């Protein structure tokens, strides 16, 4: 049987696309993912309070928001499969996709909403304290009361790290930008912003050896990469800004991506270089990376698919 639409990914982009497509009576089949690119429900499953998703004035827990979206998608007729996609074949029609268990599905159109994975430091202490003062998103979590008027740290040296540090200065009493090199990778204009900001102090040539704290992060153990010396930096929160990896390995290079690996869409649309294959959410967006922007682009992809199928 050939599906009309297959959606890959169950984050805000995939589930929003599913709600719209299901309501158009197109019975989408959605692959929720399992392990290869995050988890079913996507990135919001690893956060606590979401305070900026419209419609929830008191905030909502990330996993609860995703459970609500999933329920809404199923209610309107989406069929879910909790599996990862391992392979795609867009060379002929209908398109073919293969799951990690080897099952092959066929579809007239595909929406790729497989998101991106935030890079994290591979430390046991990071895993233990994740979500307890450690986050991968200052735009999302920086305004939470636990971080207000406190000394915070951002890890990284690129544009995102500087942006996050500058963003945090609105709430924090001081922001340490911790970078493993002796110069920032960020663009000149962003570097200037960090260097001249009265609330930002850059700690050069430092790597995090360990996150310290019992129930929440309280300090960082830092290693100076030039001298090898260890030091302790008390902080109330840490934001890792060491990059994201778009989840595109299953595409095996069949869709055009940019130099960072993100799917290239025709500007202002969710269309990819292959007619009938659309992309939504973080997998095609390294600029905004928010649940609401992902959901918005999922809606756009759904409307485009519907029009494309009618044609
Ligand atoms: C710690 C943290 C806190 C955040 N807090 C906020 C916040 O407060 N507010 C906000 O607006 N945004 C927040 N964000 C950002 C937000 O989570 C993302 O922008 C949003 O989830 C992107 O949605 P998406 O649907 O594009 O992708 P994702 O949420 O990344 O979902 C991708 C989906 O694709 C699936 N998938 C991946 N590979 C495969 C595969 N091979 N086969 C099948 N499925 C696959 C995954 O399992 C997952 O279901 C936060 C992010 C992080 C990391």
Ligand 1 pocket mutation pick from 6, 43, 237 by most atoms within 8 angstroms of CB: 43
Query: Would you please indicate which residues are annotated as catalytic (active-site) residues?
Result: 137, 140-141
Taking the centre of ligand 1 as the mean of its atom positions, its distance from the CA of residue 51, in whole angstroms, is 16
Q: Is the CB of 290 under 6 A from ligand 1?
A: yes
Count of residues in the chain: 311
pLDDT of 149 reads: 97
Atom of ligand 1 nearest to the CA of 283: 26
pLDDT of 302 reads: 98
Question: Which residue's alpha carbon is nearest to atom 7 within ligand 1?
Answer: 140
pTM score, whole prediction: 0.89
pLDDT of 39 reads: 86
Atom of ligand 1 nearest to the CA of 282: 26
Q: Is the CB of 240 under 6 A from ligand 1?
A: no
Q: What is the block-wise mean pLDDT of the chain (311 residues), using blocks of 10 residues?
A: 97 98 97 86 88 96 96 98 96 97 97 94 96 91 94 95 94 97 91 95 98 97 98 97 94 95 97 98 94 98 97 88
Q: Is the CB of 11 under 6 A from ligand 1?
A: yes
pLDDT of 46 reads: 81
| Tokens read off for 197 | 């900001």
Domains in the chain, start-ordered, CATH in brackets?
A: 2-118+244-310 (3.50.50.60), 124-240 (3.50.50.60)
Question: Which residue's alpha carbon is nearest to atom 44 within ligand 1?
Answer: 33
Cα–Cα dist 135/132, whole Å: 8
Atom of ligand 1 nearest to the CA of 44: 17
pLDDT of 139 reads: 86
CA atoms within 13 A on the CB side of 291: 28
pLDDT of 47 reads: 81
pLDDT of 304 reads: 98
Q: How far is CA 78 from CA 100, 159, 310, in A?
A: 21, 39, 19
Q: How far is CA 137 from CA 96, 141, 177, 292, 311, in A?
A: 35, 6, 15, 14, 40
pLDDT of 212 reads: 98
* CA angle (185 as vertex; 200, 195 as ends), nearest 5: 25
């Amino acid at each position: 049987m050939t599906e009309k639409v297959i959606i890959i990914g169950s984050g805000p982009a995939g589930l929003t696309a599913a709600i719209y497509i299901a309501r158009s009576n197109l019975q989408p089949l959605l692959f929720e993912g399992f392990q290869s690119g995050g988890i079913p429900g996507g990135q919001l499953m690893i956060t606590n309070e979401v305070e900026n998703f419209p419609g929830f004035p008191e905030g909502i827990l990330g996993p609860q928001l995703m459970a609500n979206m999933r329920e809404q998608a199923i209610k309107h007729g989406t069929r879910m499969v909790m599996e990862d996609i391992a392979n795609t074949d867009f060379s002929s029609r209908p398109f073919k996709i293969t799951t990690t268990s080897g099952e092959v599905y066929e579809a007239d159109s595909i929406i790729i909403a497989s998101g991106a994975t935030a890079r994290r430091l591979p430390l046991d202490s990071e895993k233990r304290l994740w979500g307890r003062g450690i986050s991968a998103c200052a735009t999302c979590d920086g305004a939470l009361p636990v971080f207000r008027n406190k000394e915070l740290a951002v890890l990284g040296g690129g544009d995102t790290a500087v942006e996050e540090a500058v963003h945090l200065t609105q709430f924090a009493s001081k922001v340490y930008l911790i970078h493993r090199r002796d110069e920032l990778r960020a663009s000149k204009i962003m570097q200037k912003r960090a260097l001249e900001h009265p609330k930002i102090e850059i700690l050069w040539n430092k790597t995090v050896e360990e996150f310290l704290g019992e129930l929440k992060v309280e300090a960082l153990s830092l290693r100076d990469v030039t001298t090898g010396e260890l030091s302790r930096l008390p902080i109330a929160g840490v934001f890792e800004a060491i990059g994201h990896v778009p989840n595109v390995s299953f595409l095996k290079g069949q869709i055009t991506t940019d130099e960072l690996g993100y799917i290239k869409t025709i500007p202002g649309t969710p269309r990819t270089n292959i007619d009938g294959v659309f992309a939504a959410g973080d997998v095609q967006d390294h600029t905004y990376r928010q649940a609401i922007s992902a959901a918005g682009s999922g809606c756009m992809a759904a409307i485009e698919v519907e029009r494309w199928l009618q044609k």
